[in-house]
Structure 1
Amino acid sequence: MARRRSRLRTLAFVLAAVTAVGLTAVFVLPGENDRAEAAIGGIVWQDEFNAPAGNAVDQSKWRFDTGGSGWGNNELQYYTNSTSNAVHDGNGNLVITARRENPNNYQCHYGRCEYTSARLLTSATFTQAYGRFEARIKIPRGQGIWPAFWMLGDNIGSVGWPNSGEIDIMENVGKEPNNVYGTIHGPGYSGGGGITAARNIGRPLADDFHTFRVDWEPNSIVWYVDGSEYHRVDPGRLGGNRWVFDHPFFMILNVAVGGYWPGNPDASTQFPQQMLVDYVRVSRYEAGGGQPQPGTVRLRGAHSGRCIDIPGANPADGAKLQIWDCNTTAAQAWSFAADGTVRAMGKCMDPAWAGTANGTEVNLVTCNGNPAQRFTLSGAGDLVNISANRCVDVSGWNPNNGGKLILWDCHGGANQKWSRF
């Protein structure tokens, strides 16, 4: 079922960036694809919203986007920083309220605004790469109402959207009251190519509080509603496009009114509409635990007993791949993508300068669609570069930490044998 939406991901401190976001919703039944959870540590940031009734948002944690620009979607609301639109209720909740207003009070991009709401963000107060991002929320309801809990990359001011990346933890449109959507956007998979899924819980989300979360770690993001997984992505889902979820992101809470995806309010829509947020919590990611990251493998050499590794866990273009004591860091978490590439930390295993000769260094490079980046691991344990028809080999049969990888004629020796684990 195809759905169209668009959203302008703007910040108070950067230029506006317009996006047209299209969805193909995948409905997953409860319990399907439930897998092992990420390595999650203790809580490092939280807001429990326990301030007295009428108190404004804690500005040490949240700031506001304001204005009535339409936000790239022809949205109808004007975002304010007023306690009329974002306030503590005294019962342990933040309340974001969308209101019908006197249109003479607020000027919007298309004329006078009929609605106000609020959009809170942590761009100036808190960012983090990886971990668990979770909120317990009771969403609003009604045609044209569009609540969201989502994240943007903290480099949006320098690289723009979608290169910064976007993780939509929870979105709902009022015309689909039972459905929660989770989506990522990045270069080559934004607009109509946003990678998304939906969970239909069988009753309106607005009837009760629900927990919405992602567990995000190197090369994996997993979505949950009420503790049940319904969506999972890794670099292999990107069709050769670049994985940009390897740097800090910040969080956003908002309620939009109208727009291309939800449509506008109609006679059935009642105002005010409120989103109640019981808490927002962020936990740290903990590498280790003795297991490779979900969706990835380590590649261990038969001769050395050591694993293919990115030096210093620094995924810089041109990093010379090596062998190193096997561990569970992202530097050794490799995935075999559908396009034939072998990936870690968002980049691809690559023969230097697309070389095919004996001795060509095997490096880490931004995935670029060049056939030279395709490898296959045979049943015999040969990791073969398809373009060169040569094997990944450790230079000089070096069994020690730091031994460099090269391409060499396949000869069946232990120095060219690799196993997944």
Structure 2
Amino acid sequence: MTRRRSVPRALALAAAALVASSVALVLPGHAEPAAAAIGSITWQDEFNAPAGTPVDQNRWRFDIGGSGWGNNERQYYTNSTSNAVHDGQGNLVITARKENPANYQCHYGRCEYTSARLLTAATFTQAYGRFEARIKIPRGQGIWPAFWMLGNDMGSVGWPNAGEIDIMENIGREPNTVHGTIHGPGYSGGGGITNSRTIGAPLADAFHTYRVDWEPNSIVWYLDGVEYHRVDPSRLGGNRWVFDHPFFMILNVAVGGNWPGYPDATTQFPQQMLVDYVRVSGYTSGGNPPAGTTRLRGAQSGRCVDIPNADPVDGAKLQIWDCNTTAAQAWTFASDGTVRAMGKCMDPAWAGTANGTEVNLVTCNGNPVQRFTLNGNGDLVNLSANRCVDVRDQNPANGGKLQLWDCTGAANQKWARY
């Protein structure tokens, strides 16, 4: 398996202008992120075994070797308790050591370091949900800890086509900074879609929680519960979104490599990464519907999203109407993230992302603003705006018009398949 990196770049954030609303409610002055619908825990390891206990191979297996792992890394990964073991204090400890035993040969010659790389490829995979770990990372120039995921089709389609989700990466020369990144076809290596968060103290000084919430067409990164990165298909510049199938998890500490550089006289060994827990939760079943048509019924009114007069003219202003079985209410959630009926797409007027933007019907054109997701909380979210489809003025009557608005949890923004 191959993993390539370069220094991630900061992402530019575009602020959407707010417009006045006639809704008689006190609403937030900025867009609140729409939350993924997270279910119960589906997999976990709390690392509570006695001191000296090896890794539980019902949960984790090992990658072994000194191939450089696509990054010119310097460590040899072993399955020894010298490099991965329970500490009896509720932690898994992954230890990078400076040693060069004769039987450990690396791509550049005799290895200088050993470490461990654990993965769940043979024991657990999952599509969507929450993936979280509480970790105290190691430190030092050339030290590269990571908590990340690869697509379970890695063996058949290879990297980066299988997809990669980096939940946590740190490089020793940036002690206060966590990086979160995706890699896929056309956006791999230095072109990965990435962002970072920097805090006021080295991450190695304490335990922190690192997590992603992953749902159809959306992945969100958190450090200690605070969001710092969000991606969806609109960020890929037309490249293929490959985050729609099961992935497996990886924990490792690399030594050296193209991105972090190499240990120097300041780097102290051994270096340890302590993992308090890894937990995975499911994604609830209320998300995007399967292939086929569905009506979208509003929680406030009991009425359905409708094309006026069943006339699919470009610019038709979508509305709510008594639910019926006509084609004007037969919506399909397409694999490209669009929501379609009568051969056209749900669309924010003039590619708008601001509060109050009308939601219309327009010819499907590949513009990222036409991508929506229906999450398990019942929010129909426009991914470019990160705003919800909302019934204007909370009007529950036939003919109530649709718009984008900050996700507030109000009943006029809640939708269900029907």
> Normalising by structure 2, what TM-score?
0.70
Cα pair 1:34 1:229 within 8 Å, conserved: no
Give 2:305's match in structure 1, choosing from 300, 303, 307.
Answer: 300
Cα pair 1:184 1:196 within 8 Å, conserved: yes
Sort the Cα spacing of 1:386 and 1:226 in 2 relative to 1 into closer, same or farther, 3 A. Answer: closer
Cα pair 1:147 1:254 within 8 Å, conserved: yes
Q: Which residue of 2 aligns with 1:23?
A: 8
> Normalising by structure 1, what TM-score?
0.69
Q: Which residue of 2 aligns with 1:266?
A: 264
1:151 aligns to what SS in structure 2? strand
Q: Deviations over 1:327-360 (max 9, x none)?
A: xxxx64xxxxxxxxxxx54456799xxxxxxxxx
Sort the Cα spacing of 1:195 and 1:44 in 2 relative to 1 into closer, same or farther, 3 A. Answer: same
Q: Which residue of 2 aligns with 1:59?
A: 57
Q: Which residue of 2 aligns with 1:385?
A: 363
Sort the Cα spacing of 1:33 and 1:141 in 2 relative to 1 into closer, same or farther, 3 A. Answer: farther
Q: Distance in 2 between matches of 1:41 and 1:55?
A: 31
The amino acid of 1:246's aligned partner reads D
The amino acid of 1:284's aligned partner reads G
Q: Which residue of 2 aligns with 1:311?
A: none
Cα pair 2:146 2:170 within 8 Å, conserved: yes
Q: Deviations over 1:300-334 (max 9, x none)?
A: 32347589xxxxxxxxxxxxx99448xxxxx64xx
2:195 aligns to what SS in structure 1? strand
Cα pair 1:27 1:197 within 8 Å, conserved: no
1:23 aligns to what SS in structure 2? coil
Sort the Cα spacing of 1:263 and 1:27 in 2 relative to 1 into closer, same or farther, 3 A. Answer: farther
Give 2:90's match in structure 1, choosing from 89, 92, 95.
Answer: 92
Q: Distance in 1 between matches of 2:212 and 2:133?
A: 10
Q: Deviations over 1:255-290 (max 9, x none)?
A: 000011111000111000000000000001114399
Cα pair 1:177 1:205 within 8 Å, conserved: yes
The amino acid of 1:181's aligned partner reads H
CA shift, 1:87, in A, is 0.2
Mapping for residues 128-277 of structure 1, pairs under 5 Å: 128-277=126-275
Cα pair 2:346 2:361 within 8 Å, conserved: no
Sort the Cα spacing of 1:322 and 1:154 in 2 relative to 1 into closer, same or farther, 3 A. Answer: farther
Q: Which runs of 5+ in 1 are unaligned?
A: 1-9, 11-16, 291-297, 308-320, 326-330, 333-343, 352-360, 364-372, 393-413
The size of the alignment, in residue pairs, is 323
Q: Distance in 2 between matches of 1:46 and 1:70?
A: 30
Cα pair 1:376 1:386 within 8 Å, conserved: no
The amino acid of 2:177's aligned partner reads N
Q: Does 1:102 align with 2:100?
A: yes
Q: Distance in 2 between matches of 1:322 and 1:302?
A: 5
Q: Distance in 1 between matches of 2:330 and 2:360?
A: 19
Q: Deviations over 1:26-83 (max 9, x none)?
A: 499xxx9863431111111000001111010000000000000001111000000000
Q: Which residue of 2 aligns with 1:284?
A: 282
Q: Does 1:77 align with 2:75?
A: yes
Larger relative contact order (CA 8 Å, sep ≥ 6):
2
Q: Distance in 1 between matches of 2:337 and 2:152?
A: 20
Q: CA RMSD in A?
A: 3.3
The amino acid of 2:362's aligned partner reads V
The amino acid of 2:111's aligned partner reads C
Q: Distance in 1 between matches of 2:190 and 2:179?
A: 15
Q: Distance in 2 between matches of 1:34 and 1:212?
A: 21
